[in-house]
Structure 1
Amino acid sequence: MLSTYWKRRKDNKIFSNYIYLLLIQGANFILPLIALPYLVITLESEKYGLVMVAQSLAVFFTIVVDFGFNISATREVSLLKGKKKKLTQFFWDVYSTKLILTALSFLLLLCLIFFIDKFKTEPLIYMYSFGLVIGQAVFPTWFFQGIEKMKVITFINVAAKTFFTISIFFVVLKPEDFEFVPILNGLGYIISGLIGFVFSLKYVGFTFPKFNNVKKIIKESFNLCVSNFAVNLYSSSNTLILGFFAGDTIAGIYASMEKLVLATKSIYIPLYQSIFPHLSTLSFKKIKNFIKKIRIPITISGIILSLVIIIGSDSILKIIYNDDLISSYYKVFQILGFIAFLAALNMLYITLFFPSVKAYKVRMKILVFAGIFHFFLVLVLGNFYDIYGVAISAVVTEFLILLLGYYHYNKTAL
């Protein structure tokens, strides 16, 4: 009876954490999606494409600043719960590392603006977009996820980002107002991040970071950082590449469809994030059994989402954007629709299984290989088939990751 009671409590905690993480994902993905049709119409394809290219670059910097802490730090925090002194030290070690990485990323951004022509034309849009990087660096999702306390911080996060999303409708009124989009989005991230940081101090004291600990953290998380950067070579680079080779208008069209497909990931990301802290404390055998148990429902739900996008692509684009130019590329949306299924399943291995068993190097090898493969594939297919080639490259890469993930899962599970 007692064991059943504690199991129910743990299941309820995982479910509640999933709901809170789902709300945060909603703030990060769904809220911008709400403003998406309005921005596409108001800014027009070229300016909207420019905003999306700048945002894609900012996403790369968030990967550098995060440095894999969304996995490694979350896991460590979950193990240090109840040990306030050690938890406090780890907290400030991670934060100091993130601040150093943020400063280095900003310096790199300045170099890109000064030396690359693409970024020289509208330098402020790239500077303003860096607000997303700062906000993500400050917001301690990894900490609250690790201690499994997401309730209060979730509502603050959602409220701040909702306010700044709504403000877009009142501030961005014509194409010339495009610079306000990254400014408002950045403010939403920064303010919610600062409030999150203040709340985290309720659970830790203050201590100075230790240089040796920082070096150790960087060394342990390096594989994860490389892995996450590789992920963005195939998941976030497409808009940036199209911006370089096909122009901001085509980049904007692709981004408008990619945003819709990526929104389907927001269903699975918080699910895996909520399960991860508890799963990482279990034995290898229990982790393996759990993955087997949820694989079938994940597969079914992914197939349903893909079918909805593929079958209803033309209607979905017309309803959401009401833009003839975007709707004329509905076949691109159909191609991208396969990602909903492939990503849902490959994240089961890449995001949940390998980190839970600390197979960081295996995860890194898979994602680095896939990232390099995608980079060359998208250059070739994008050159010959333009936006369609980029979409095909994205789907092929997701399929490759699923195959490699499944292969190494079976190999590791022996």
Structure 2
Amino acid sequence: MFKTLKDFKKKIVFRNYFFLLIIQFTNIVLPLITFPYLVRVLGAKNYGIVMMAHSLAIFLGIIVDFGFNISATREVSLLKGDKELLSKFYSNVILIKTFLVLISFGILLFIVSFVYKFNVNKEVYLYSFGIVLGQALFPTWFFQGIEKMKIITFINLLSKIIFTALIFIFIRQENDFLLAPIFNSLGFIISGFLGLLISFKYVNVSKPNFQKIIQIIKESFSLFSSNVFVSLYTTLNTLILGLFTSELLAGVYVSMEKLIVAIKSLYSPLYQAIFPNISNKKNIEIIKYVKRLIVPVLLSGVAIMLFVIVFAENILEFVFDNELITSYYFILQILASIAVFSSLNMLYVTLLLPALKKYNKRLKLLVLAGIVNIIIVIPLIKLYSIKGVAISASFTELFLLLLSFLGFQKLKKIKN
């Protein structure tokens, strides 16, 4: 059927990429339908409150994930031929994630109890925690490792369709803004339970091994730290802007940011599909493989950036149909550069370094980027308000790109 093993692997990568592309397409298109609707119905301020809560939930989700989207995916890809070892590893990871969910909920309770802006709308933040729970339940890392992307695709579609349908059916006025986090959480929790149940088809429940658990935590800690620092210049920027200005401006900014996230998401399925396939190759082969991707990724990023800069006002008017948001089109033009910077950063930080198991090097880069953003974002917000956070986000991505380029030049010198 296949002439060579190489042809077979190519087909697997293509199939996985196809299913992940469907997921990303869903993640892009459905929010572009629901978010503009929510802005119009709830108003920019209430929308800002909902999205600040969503940003906090995503940050807490990073804690629960603990870098397993990379480390556990890699380990599962190595163990998938041995059901007994795979089952033991699976059980250990699930126990760790359960413990992390409890820690995350404790952090949330502390924040909504002692931070005034969060306390005023604490119900929104508490209801949004369902996103964290749903993500913890769904073993995406497991299905990616065994290369069963079809399962992830169908369940992801189901959750997004449920969320979208409930939004349009029940949210009709500004006072309904509490329903948005409830419906979003419901979609995540349902898909999480389904994913968890299906995963038991491939593994058996095993008694956790605490020595192995400690080992898994140590191996994933640098990845976890990396992801936390990434959130310092991505997820948390919306929260910081809302805290230092207003929920209204946070709502305006996150509307632009969602469009940029949608653009960044175009590259994620490609890297996710390639990762399990190249992670077992020799270092020199991995580096050569990634090198071949640089030019097409760069050209596509530049094309997207130029399109967004030229048509920023038209894009916002078409998507949101909101005069306030459209009047801030220059923010989208500033953020457009991220299409180039981030696509290349992800190639190096999300694909190459994890495939080479250079987790500490990855950690150092992302720590530096996170620190740079935190240092400059608050002064820039105080000086330039919403424009300041856009400048900070773009500059941080550029800074990370420069570090990644220098790091890649050194890696190319590696001998087989």
Q: By the TM > 0.5 criterion, same fold?
A: yes
5 Å-filtered alignment, 1:7-406, equals 7-406=6-405
**Counterpart AA for 1:399:** L
Contact 1:18–1:273 (Cα < 8 Å) also in 2:
yes
Shift of 1:25: 2.8
- 3-state SS of paired residue (1:234): coil
- 3-state SS of paired residue (2:281): coil
Shift of 1:382: 1.0
In 2, Cα distance between the equivalents of 1:95 and 1:63? 15
In 2, Cα distance between the equivalents of 1:185 and 1:26? 18
In 1, Cα distance between the equivalents of 2:28 and 2:227? 18
**Counterpart AA for 2:380:** L
Shift of 1:314: 0.4
- 3-state SS of paired residue (1:214): helix
Shift of 1:32: 2.1
Contact 1:157–1:193 (Cα < 8 Å) also in 2:
no
- 3-state SS of paired residue (2:206): coil
In 2, Cα distance between the equivalents of 1:326 and 1:156? 33
Structure 1: unaligned runs, 5 residues or longer: none
Contact 2:64–2:97 (Cα < 8 Å) also in 1:
yes
CA deviation map 1:109-149 (0-9, x unaligned) = 11111111111101110001111111111111110100111
- 3-state SS of paired residue (2:341): helix
CA deviation map 1:261-304 (0-9, x unaligned) = 10011111111011001111000111011011111111111111
Shift of 1:26: 3.5
Contact 1:22–1:266 (Cα < 8 Å) also in 2:
no
In 2, Cα distance between the equivalents of 1:114 and 1:378? 25
In 2, Cα distance between the equivalents of 1:160 and 1:80? 29
Aligned length: 413
Shift of 1:308: 1.2
Shift of 1:46: 0.7
Alignment TM-score, normalising by the size of structure 2:
0.97
In 2, Cα distance between the equivalents of 1:164 and 1:396? 34
CA-based RMSD of the aligned residues comes to 1.2
In 1, Cα distance between the equivalents of 2:214 and 2:74? 18
Shift of 1:29: 4.2
Contact 1:53–1:239 (Cα < 8 Å) also in 2:
yes
Alignment TM-score, normalising by the size of structure 1:
0.98
- 3-state SS of paired residue (2:390): helix
Contact 1:77–1:143 (Cα < 8 Å) also in 2:
yes
Contact 1:288–1:413 (Cα < 8 Å) also in 2:
yes
In 2, Cα distance between the equivalents of 1:321 and 1:161? 20
Shift of 1:24: 2.4
In 2, Cα distance between the equivalents of 1:153 and 1:226? 26
**Counterpart AA for 1:301:** S
Change (3 A) 1:316 1:306: same
Contact 1:153–1:199 (Cα < 8 Å) also in 2:
no
Aligned-pair identity (%): 49
Contact 2:287–2:411 (Cα < 8 Å) also in 1:
no
**Counterpart AA for 2:382:** N
Shift of 1:151: 1.0
In 1, Cα distance between the equivalents of 2:162 and 2:26? 10
Contact 2:64–2:100 (Cα < 8 Å) also in 1:
yes
In 2, Cα distance between the equivalents of 1:27 and 1:199? 21
**Counterpart AA for 2:194:** I
**Counterpart AA for 2:19:** Y
**Counterpart AA for 1:82:** G
Contact 2:112–2:119 (Cα < 8 Å) also in 1:
yes
**Counterpart AA for 1:154:** T
